[in-house]
Structure formats: structure tokens, C-alpha cells
Structure 1
Amino acid sequence: MQRILTYRTLNLLLVFFSVVGMAFAVFYLQMYKGLEPCPLCIFQRVGLMVMGAFAFISAVFNPKKLVARLILWIGSMAGIVWSVGVAARHVWIQNLPPDQVPACGPGLDYWLEALPMKQVIDQVLAGSGECAEISWKFLGLTIPEQGLIFFSALILINLVLFWRIVKQRA
């Protein structure tokens, strides 16, 4: 089991799940089902891509120095923790009573063109009416709930990776 869960293998597993998650979102939900992602969905995808990018760099270069491994792990973990936080916020917005759901805004494209990045992030995290809409369920779970479970599993893989980093240096 020790040889299977190597530093490189765990990072490749994170890359694999990042690609699978993005492929599911783009090819199945967007292209096949015709669902357009809301701003919170897009932010969740960004975190998944950040995690995948750091894991890819880790897998390809397989750094030997503890500091390099920890920096890459922090980047990977930050990306997926971001996704978990945004997904949790998204689930919360979807469970608000109808009278408390935020009004629909002009959209992410407009915000990116007209506002500074901090305000864009604030606007997106505040949520909008389109983020509260439940457009598809699988096994009784909404897309953000599925994402929250998926991203939480990726955090667990990242924690196993951290354990491997620390154990190899001990």
C-alpha cells in the first residue's frame, strides 16, 4: 500500500479527478444537459483547476525538497478549500427561503468588465437569483451538494498527500 500511495501517484490522482470533474461539468452538464453555470459554479471550477494545476506541477516535477513539496501542497489545498467554501455557500443560498433569495444580477461577464476584482468576488459570493435556482438533481442532490461531496473527498486525498510528505521527511 505504501508504494501505491506515493507522492507522485497521489498528485496524479488529484489531476485525474480534476480533469474528470471539469469534463463532467463542461461536457455533461453544459453541453449535453444545456445548463449554463452560475457565477458560484464558475468559482468552484476555478478552485478545482487551481488544485489540478498544482497537483500536475507536483506530479511532473516530483520535487525532492520538503519546502517545494509543501508550497505545491499549499497551493493545491488552497484551490480545493476555495471550492469547498464556495460550494457550501452555494448550498446555503439554494436552501434560503424564497423571500430571502438575492435578486438576479447583471452577470459575471459584466462584473468582470465593469468592476475591480475584489468587488467581483464580493458580488459573486453574495450570490444571485440564478445561483439559488435548482436546475438538476442526481440521487436527490443538487449540483452544489454533489460538488461539496466531491471537493470534500479531494480534501481528504490532499490530507493523505500531506501525511505522505511529512512521513517521508520523518
Structure 2
Amino acid sequence: MWRLIKFTPRVWFLLGFLGCMTLLAMGAYFQFVQGLDPCPLCISQRLAILATGMVFLIAALHNPKQKGITWYAVSGAVTALSGAAISIRHVWLQHLPPEDVPECGPGLDYVLQNLPLAETIKLMLSGTGDCAKVDWTLFGFSMPAWTLAAFLMLATLSLLQILNRETNQS
């Protein structure tokens, strides 16, 4: 059975890229079809998914030898774990008691037009009261919790390619 799912790192990186694009498509669906406006932390998580997907796509297109696979694997894991850190912050905000939730900030359009870039990035990474609202759940877990699980799986998939030597081209 294990032989049936044993792929080259190139195929695994391509599958990781497709997974990232699926996550972004789901985010677009929830935003544009379901009408759920993303908060600053949601947008930050999307950017981390995009960055992880780009690392995976470049790795799949490049099809490097072992040294390159290791570099791409570590880079993919770093971007995925950065996204996981953002997701952890988001889940933490959602579990705060209502009296401890930070105040809601201005809309992202306003922030992008009127605040310096450093302040905008700080807001996007720290979150606002909007980020504490749970709009959607599946099996009792919010969207940021599912995104955290996805980031951890992507980081694991990425790092496993370092060990995936048997089937890659040496």
C-alpha cells in the first residue's frame, strides 16, 4: 500500500501547491459567495498560504536535486509555520472572554489608504476585535482552527521531502 502513495518530491510539492490554491479558492468562495468579509488576520493567513504555495510551485517547476529539495522544504515549512503562528493568534483571539477582546479597528481599505505601511502590517498581524468573531464552524472548529491544521500539514509535507530520498532523482 505504501508504494501506491510514494511520489517524487516534485509531485509532492505540486500537490502542496494545489492544496494551497484550494485553500485560497475556499477563502474566495467564503468571501464572494457566502459574503463573509475577511478580517486582517484572515488576509494575513491568505498571504501566508499564497507564499507557501509559491514556494511549492517553484520547487515543483525547478525539480532540484537533494540540496535544492532541502532548501525548498525548509522554505516551505518556514512560510507554513509563519502562517500557523498567525492562525494561532487568530484562534487565541476567538477564545478570549468578550471583555478582553481588543477594540474593532477601522476597515482594511481605510487602513491601507491612511496609515503608514508599518502600522498596516502591525494591524494585520496583531488583529482587531473583528478577528474574534466566529462566522463559520465545521465540527465545532472555526475557520482559523482549520487553517492552522492546514498550515501544520503543509509544513509537515514540506519537511518530509527532505527524507523522501528513495524516489527522487539523485
- Of residues 57-66 and 160-169 in structure 1, the stretch that sits farther from structure 2 once superposed is 160-169
Task: Report 1:28-107 matches (<5 A).
Answer: 29-64=30-65, 66=67, 68-107=68-107
Per the TM alignment, residue 3 of structure 1 is displaced from its structure 2 partner at its CA by 8.1
The aligned length equals 168
Report how far residue 20 of structure 1 moved: 0.9
CA contact (8 A) 2:6 2:167 kept: no
CA shift at 1:161, angstroms? 1.4
The residue number in structure 2 matching 1:9 is: 11
Residue identity over aligned pairs, in percent, reads 33
Q: What amino acid sits opposite 1:164 in the alignment?
A: N
Structure 2 counterpart of 1:100, one-letter code: D
Provide the rounded CA distance (Å) in 1 between the counterparts of 2:78 and 2:124. 18
Tell me the distance in 1 between the aligned counterparts of 2:166 and 2:110: 45
Instruction: Please list, as runs of the form range in 1=range in 2, the aligned pairs for 1:107-122 lying within 5 A after superposition.
Output: 107-122=107-122
How far did residue 54 of structure 1 move? 0.9
Give the Å deviation of 1:71: 3.3
**Structure 1 residues 122-161: aligned runs within 5 Å:** 122-161=122-161
- If asked which structure has higher relative contact order (CA below 8 Å, sep 6+), I would say 2
Distance 2:66 2:136 in 1: 45
**Which secondary structure state, in structure 2, belongs to the residue aligned with residue 106 of structure 1?**
coil
Give me the TM-score of the superposition, normalised by structure 2. 0.87
User: CA distance change for structure 1 residues 165 and 36 in 2, over 3 Å: closer, same or farther?
Assistant: farther
What's the secondary structure of 1:63's corresponding residue? Answer: coil
* Residue pair 1:50, 1:75 contacting (<8 A) in 2 also: no
* Counterparts of 2:82 and 2:128, CA distance in 1: 19
State the secondary structure of the residue aligned to 2:93.
Answer: helix
Structure 2, gaps ≥5 residues long? none
Q: 1:17 to 1:3 in 2, by over 3 A?
A: closer
